[in-house]
Amino acid sequence: MRFKVGRPHIGRYADRFDLPGSTSGLAATFLGVSSLLLDDGETAVLTDGYFSRPSLARVGLGRIAPDEARIRSVLDRARIDRLAAVAPVHTHFDHALDSAVVARQTGAVVAGGTSAARLARGAGLDPDRVRVVTPGEPVSFGGFALTWIQSEHCPPDRFPGEIAEPVVPPARARAYRCGEAWSILVEHAGGRTALVQGSAGFVPGALAGRDAEVAYLGVGQLGIQSHDYIRTYWAQTVEAVGAREVVLLHWDDFFRPLDQPLRALPYAGDDLDVTMTVLTDLADRQGVGLHFPTVWRAEDPWSLIAPSR
Amino acid sequence: MAEMASVPGTSATAGDLLALLRSGAAATRSDLRRVTGLSRSAVVSRVNALADAGLVLVGAELPSTGGRPPGSLVFNTDAGTVLAVAIGRSRSQVAVFDLGGRELGSSAVDHEVGAGPEAVMPVVATQLRTLLSDDMPPVLGVGLSLPGTVDPVRAVSVDTPVMAGWDGVELAPYLADLTRAPLIVAGDTDILARSERRDGHATRYRDLLVVKASTGLGLGIIADGRIVSGSRGGAGEIGHTKVAAAAGRPCRCGAIGCVETVAGGWALVAALQAEGRPIGHIRDLVALAVAGAPDAKQLLRESARQLGEVLAVAINLLNPQVVVLGGDMAAAFDVYAAGVRESVYALSTALATSDLQVLPSTYGDRAGLVGCAVAALDEVLSPAAVDRRLRGAGSGGTR
């Protein structure tokens, strides 16, 4: 592949930042990469909670650690005071670096696999605030029921393998190994359902028979895969759960803080234009809505779907 | 579209009673007695005066509408007309409305960019004359909008960067042969905001920011239900806010570093023309974006993002329920709203954005005409103006 400099312009897809705002009830707020706040007004759960967003130089050359001030400012800005659970989609630093600190600041448990548990304990989180989930078994948090389904990381997995020992920050980025990669199914007591697919990987057939009205779909590194891979990924996620609306995650350059305008990942690691070419075609042919979330904004993709239950 | 009718009490004049009937707060004489506390005879005499002037239709005069009680009183929207004149930089629209705000006819005229009133106003008058027919009721008022700032006392354009020849010029004389009805002049962003008061967003919300994103960038403000124009009529000139992204760039207003130089329609068009692109007007770029051209969407979204950075300050200041997007660029609403939202949700306070909505303007490219009509109707049907008219002291009403 020829090396391209620069990055795609996210403005080319401006008309897809078109989700309805949440007026009441269930709301989903995108907070960068695969961090998604789900809040029904009484209970809130958060995937990842990655807010430190250290620079590329720091990630590449130094040791990284949660930035408590940046985490606090994001929690304040997003008006997050209590969380029931923080659920890392896997344990790479761009998902799970801050999960334990966010849990500590909000009274939440960190819920995930054994790698997430070791990461949380290494970060000093009280063991009774760490919950190792059983794949396929729903866990309730207020009105939310979350079910973790084993998935895969999108190739290439730069830091593969389990986290075998607690990781104590500051640590090298490579210490944040992938661990278990999850598809997280969300069912709300009001009947609304979603799939949060943090990484653009899949286990064939893993989501067969599952239902989700909305798919929050990670697309990080998807643009450097073959068109066949992209189509298969869509089939194994969006089509498998029968989602009617798709909202894209993990497209923003996570090497700069959230208080700067979001921009796409550089061509060096991804190509959002390729992803969008393939996904737009699939979405159009299948009559599925394809959207980007607006960071910080409480949105309601379910309102685009006629009540079906 | 009328100001929310306050309850005038026993000092209520005929004009006040008409306002109650227009707003729907009363529909019969007994309603009027109950709402105001006026005596039966006082209500009867005031209603008779309104009926004699043709402003109110009473009971038996009403066309059969199935079930309306015989004592019903109805505001007679056919008792007069108002004219609407929306002057633009290169194109002006004119229309005639009845007193209920229903459009009876309209047309548009193109003129040279930067043409002065001596060139434009006679053409406007001619166009209006063709819209008026002898069987139409009399013209009671004229609403006219000008790009930029209008002095609220003198009713003339002031400090308008692209309408320099209009500054300080009284416009009523140009229409004197057509009508001597009062002329209400307002800035285009105020007019855009007023358009939302006719069955628009301002009938559902009391705090709104109404953006005009066209060749220039401006803001109409409705706070607590009232249009805010500022002490010199200059409220909402956000296009000339200085921003870091525009540092060193000369603006058409003569200053340096205005947000318009990176986000105004004129700046986008100039940048594209410098690249040799065949774009003559911001509407050409918007048409490309609506057709799906990625680079056009990128440019509009970036304009909206820059505007949103300034708008975020206004949102922190005024805490509106709604931001309404109007003007040529807002015709690509999804694209433009995305850019505005991106900045606003990142930069305004979490409280101010917690239930903020971004909505398209109700009337699109007709908002200028609707707003001019609303401005004229609010003026000529205000209780004071109606009372003057009933006393025979009102000006106009003839043509």
Residue B386 is assigned to a structural domain of this protein? no
User: Is the same domain home to B357 and B217?
Assistant: yes
* Structure confidence by residue, pLDDT tens digits, B327-350: 999 999 999 999 999 999 999 999
Distance from CA of A259 to the nearest CA of B (A): 7
Q: Are A292 and A16 in contact (CB under 8 A)?
A: yes
Domain count, chain A: 1
Give residue B233's pLDDT. Answer: 87
User: Residue B55's domain spans which residues?
Assistant: 9-76
* Structure confidence by residue, pLDDT tens digits, B181-202: 999 999 999 999 999 999 999 9
CATH label of the domain that carries residue B40: 1.10.10
What are the Cα distances from residue B276, in Å, to A56, B99, B218, B328?
38, 48, 28, 22
| List of chain A residues whose C-beta atoms are within 8 Å of the C-beta of residue B335 | 14-15
User: Is the same domain home to B260 and B333?
Assistant: yes
| List of chain A residues whose C-beta atoms are within 8 Å of the C-beta of residue B339 | 11, 14
Give residue B273's pLDDT. Answer: 95
Report how far residue A219's alpha carbon sits from residue B92's, in angstroms, rounded to the nearest whole number. Answer: 48
| Residue of A13, A18, A296 with shortest CB distance to B346 | A296
Report how far residue A184's alpha carbon sits from residue B203's, in angstroms, rounded to the nearest whole number. Answer: 43
Residue A1 is assigned to a structural domain of this protein? no
Interface check for A304 against chain B (CB to CB < 8 A): the answer is no
Report how far residue B272's alpha carbon sits from residue B278's, in angstroms, rounded to the nearest whole number. Answer: 8
Residue B306 is assigned to a structural domain of this protein? yes
- Is A275 in a helix, a strand, or coil? helix
Please give, one letter per residue, the 3-state secondary structure of A51-79: CCCCCHHHHHHCCECCCHHHHHHHHHHCC
Interface check for B205 against chain A (CB to CB < 8 A): the answer is no
Question: Which residues, at least 6 apart from B272, have a Cβ–Cβ distance to it below 8 Å?
Answer: B279, B285, B299
Domain count, chain B: 3
What is the residue-wise DSSP string for B293-339? -HHHHHHHHHHHHHHHHHHHHHHHHH--SEEEEESSGGGSHHHHHHH
Neighbours of B156 (CB within 10 A): 17
Interface check for B72 against chain A (CB to CB < 8 A): the answer is no
CB contact under 8 A, A17 and B342: yes
Interface check for A41 against chain B (CB to CB < 8 A): the answer is no
User: Is the same domain home to B230 and B108?
Assistant: no
CATH label of the domain that carries residue A28: 3.60.15.10
Q: Which residues of chain A have pLDDT under 50?
A: 1, 309
Interface of A with B in 53-112 (CB under 8 A): 76-79
Give residue B64's pLDDT. Answer: 54
CB contact under 8 A, A14 and B350: no
User: Residue A139's domain spans which residues?
Assistant: 10-303
Burial string for B230-262 (b: 16+ CB within 10 Å, else e) reads eeebbbbbbbbbebeebeebebbbeeebbbbbb
CB contact under 8 A, A12 and B295: yes
Its ipTM equals 0.86
| List of chain A residues whose C-beta atoms are within 8 Å of the C-beta of residue B355 | 21, 23
Residue B3 is assigned to a structural domain of this protein? no
User: Is the same domain home to B167 and B209?
Assistant: no
Report how far residue A191's alpha carbon sits from residue A207's, in angstroms, rounded to the nearest whole number. Answer: 19
User: Is the same domain home to B213 and B335?
Assistant: yes
Give residue B365's pLDDT. Answer: 93
Residue A3 is assigned to a structural domain of this protein? no
Give residue B66's pLDDT. Answer: 57
Residue B172 is assigned to a structural domain of this protein? yes
Q: Are B315 and B351 in contact (CB under 8 A)?
A: no
Residues pairing with A188 in the sheet: A144
Please give the mean pLDDT across all residues of chain A.
95
Burial string for A195-218 (b: 16+ CB within 10 Å, else e) reads bbbbbbbbeeebbeebebbbbbbb
Give residue B8's pLDDT. Answer: 74
User: Is the same domain home to B219 and B343?
Assistant: yes
Query: Which residue stretches of A78-127 are H helix?
Result: 93-96, 99-106, 114-122
Do β-strands A44-47 and A85-87 pair in parallel, antiparallel, or remain unpaired?
A: parallel
- Is A264 in a helix, a strand, or coil? strand
Residue A308 is assigned to a structural domain of this protein? no
Give residue A41's pLDDT. Answer: 95
Residues pairing with B139 in the sheet: B81
Q: Which residue of A has its CA nearest to B300?
A: A11
What is the residue-wise DSSP string for A144-205? EEEEEEEE-PPSP-SS-S---S---SSB-GGGS----EEEEEEEETTS-EEEEE-SS---TT
| List of chain A residues whose C-beta atoms are within 8 Å of the C-beta of residue B302 | 11
User: Is the same domain home to B277 and B354?
Assistant: yes
Q: Show the tokens assigned to A80.
A: 């997050």
| List of chain A residues whose C-beta atoms are within 8 Å of the C-beta of residue B356 | 21
Q: Give the mutation candidate from A12, A30, A80 for the B interface (greatest B CB count, under 10 A).
A: A12
Q: Give the mutation candidate from B301, B347, B354 for the A interface (greatest A CB count, under 10 A).
A: B301
Burial string for B107-145 (b: 16+ CB within 10 Å, else e) reads eeeebeeebebeebbebbbebbeebbeeebbebbbbbbb
| List of chain A residues whose C-beta atoms are within 8 Å of the C-beta of residue B343 | 261
CATH label of the domain that carries residue B138: 3.30.420.40
Give residue B398's pLDDT. Answer: 40
The verdict on pTM exceeding 0.90 is no
CB contact under 8 A, A14 and B345: no
Give the closest residue to A151 by CA, choosing from A118, A196, A116, A192: A196
Q: Which residues of chain B have pLDDT under 70?
A: 1-7, 60-70, 393-399
Report how far residue A133's alpha carbon sits from residue A26's, in angstroms, rounded to the nearest whole number. Answer: 24
Half-sphere exposure of B339 (CA within 13 A, CB side): 29
